[in-house]
A and B are shown apart, each in its own frame.
Chain A
Amino acid sequence: QVQLVQSGAEVKKPGASVRLSCKTSGYTFSGYAVHWVRQAPGQRLEWMAWIHPGIGNTQYSQKFKGRLTTTRDTSATTVYMDLTSLRSEDTAVYYCARMVGAVTDYFDKWGQGTLVTVSS
Chain B
Amino acid sequence: DIQMTQSPSSLSASVGDRVTITCRASQNIRRDLNWYQQKPGEAPKVLIYAASTLQSGVPSRFSGSGSGTDFTLTISSLQPEDFATYFCQQSHSTLTFGGGTKVEIK
Let me know if B97 and A45 touch, CB within 8 A: yes
Q: How many of chain B's residues have a CB under 8 angstroms from any CB in A?
A: 24
Let me know if A103 and B50 touch, CB within 8 A: yes
Let me know if A44 and B91 touch, CB within 8 A: no
Let me know if B43 and A113 touch, CB within 8 A: yes
Interface secondary structure of B, over-half rule: loop
Least distance between A1 CB and chain B CB atoms (Å): 12
Let me know if B87 and A44 touch, CB within 8 A: yes
Task: Determine the residue in chain A with the shortest Cβ distance to B34.
Answer: A106
Least distance between A40 CB and chain B CB atoms (Å): 12
**Bitwise interface map of B from 90 to 106 toward A, beta carbon under 8 Å scored 1, else 0:** 01001111111000000
Task: Determine the residue in chain B with the shortest Cβ distance to A103.
Answer: B50
Least distance between A47 CB and chain B CB atoms (Å): 4
**A95 cross-chain contacts in B, Cβ below 8 A:** 43-44
User: Among A46, A61, A105, A111, which residue has its beta carbon within 8 angstroms of that of B91?
Assistant: A105
